[in-house]
Structures are given as C-alpha cells and as structure tokens.
C-alpha cells in the first residue's frame, strides 16, 4: 500500500495546493458574498474528496484498500455536492457541515498516520494535519454564530496550514517513489 501511495504522491501535492489556494482566496476576498464562498468551498471539497478517493483505491490491485482515505473522499465529495445543490444554506448550517467534515477528516487522518507509523518515519505530518482539522472543526462548533467573516478567516487558516502539511508529506512520499519496495523503510529512515 505504501508503494501505491508513494507512486501517487502528486495527488497529495495537489490536495495541498488546492487547500493553500482556497485559504489565500478566503483571506484576499473577505467581503465576497456567501454564494461565492460556498462555490470556492465546494470546489475545494470536491478536489480534496476526489483525490482522497483515488488514493484510497490506489492499493486495490494489491488487495489493500485504504478505507480511511475512501471515507475522507466520500465525505469531501458529499460536502461539495450538498453545497452545490443547496447554496442558500444558512451560515450556521454551513458551519456545522464544515465543522463535522473537518473533525471526521482529522480523525481519519490521525488513524491513517497511526496505521502507517511502522512503515514510514515522519507520520507526524499526517497527524499534525489531522489535529489542525479537528481543532478547526471544534472552533467552528463552539462559535457557530460568530459570523461569516470569522468563518472565512478560520477556514483560510485551516486550509493553508493543512495544505502546507500535505505538500510536505507529498514531497516525502515523492522521495520514496525512487526506491525499490524493499528500500522504502531505509528511505524513510526506519
């Protein structure tokens, strides 16, 4: 499974770039309408979901499907579809959807990192991404009525932080790609 994920390192890289782009857009256009924010969020969640789903099925030929990534992917795609279909959701409902998705995403990322801890060194990057997601989700749940601008700022912080961590992890995976399967542990420093 690790070989498949390493061979598809660029998907994690794209996830990170999409997260950073979304975060920067949220910061540079804080006065944008809720509709535009919803469409940016839906596009980000769709890219995140599709890439996570692809990564989850990457090990299928070895009969090792990565179920956590599949669930993350399905949650991201569902979040995007719901946002596209019902764009006039109230800010509070949107906050609750985003918060729930972020918490579940974070839990699954931490679970995946724990599962990979014996195969790679540096799994803390995925744990850190999961922690960022959980903290972001709980902050939204604690203050759902704080206003759309607070959500935009928090969403931007989460997206950029998560994107940076995902890019760092993708580059680590990329370095593993050039090693034969038996040398992966050595390449990761284990």
Q: How far apart are CA 187 and CA 176, in angstroms?
A: 6
Structural domain boundaries of the chain? 2-187
What pLDDT sits at residue 155?
77
120-127 contact pairs (CB < 8 A, 24+)? 120/2, 120/172, 120/176, 120/184, 120/188, 120/190, 121/188, 121/189, 121/190, 122/169, 122/172, 122/188, 122/189, 125/165, 125/168, 125/169, 125/172, 126/165, 126/169
59 pLDDT above the threshold of 70: no
pLDDT value at position 188? 47
Most confident of 3-17, 98-112, 115-129, 164-178: 98-112
- Report the mean per-residue pLDDT for the chain: 78
Q: Which residue has the higher pLDDT, 60 or 183?
A: 60
E strand or H helix at 100, and its extent? helix 91-116
Does 130 score more than 50 pLDDT? yes
- Integer-rounded Cα Rg, in Å, for the chain is 17
CB atoms < 10 A from the CB of 60, how many? 12
**Residue 170 to residue 124: CA distance in whole angstroms:** 13
- For 151-187, the pLDDT digits (tens) are 677 778 888 998 998 898 888 888 876 655 555 444 4
How many other CB atoms are found less than 10 A from the CB of residue 150? Answer: 15
Structural tokens at position 13: 């890289």
In the chain, % of residues over pLDDT 70? 77
Q: What is the pTM of this model?
A: 0.51
Best-predicted range by mean pLDDT among 31-35, 65-69, 108-112, 121-125? 108-112
Distance separating alpha carbons of residues 30 and 150, to the nearest angstrom: 9
């Amino acid at each position: 499974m690790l070989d498949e994920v390493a061979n598809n390192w660029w998907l994690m890289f794209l996830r990170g770039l999409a997260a950073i782009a979304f975060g920067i857009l949220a910061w540079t256009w804080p006065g944008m309408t809720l509709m535009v924010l919803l469409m940016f969020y839906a596009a980000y969640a769709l890219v995140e979901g599709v890439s996570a789903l692809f990564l989850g099925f990457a090990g299928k030929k070895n009969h090792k499907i990565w179920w956590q990534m599949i669930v993350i992917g399905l949650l991201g795609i569902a979040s995007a579809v719901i946002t596209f279909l019902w764009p006039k959701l109230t800010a509070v409902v949107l906050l609750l959807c985003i918060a729930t998705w972020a918490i579940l995403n974070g839990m699954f990322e931490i679970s995946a990192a724990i599962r990979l801890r014996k195969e790679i060194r540096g799994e803390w990057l995925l744990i850190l991404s999961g922690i960022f997601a959980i903290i972001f989700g709980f902050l939204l749940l604690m203050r759902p009525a704080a206003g759309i601008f607070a959500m935009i700022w928090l969403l931007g912080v989460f997206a950029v932080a998560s994107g940076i961590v995902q890019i760092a992890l993708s580059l680590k995976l990329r370095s593993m790609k050039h090693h034969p399967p038996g040398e992966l542990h050595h390449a990761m420093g284990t």
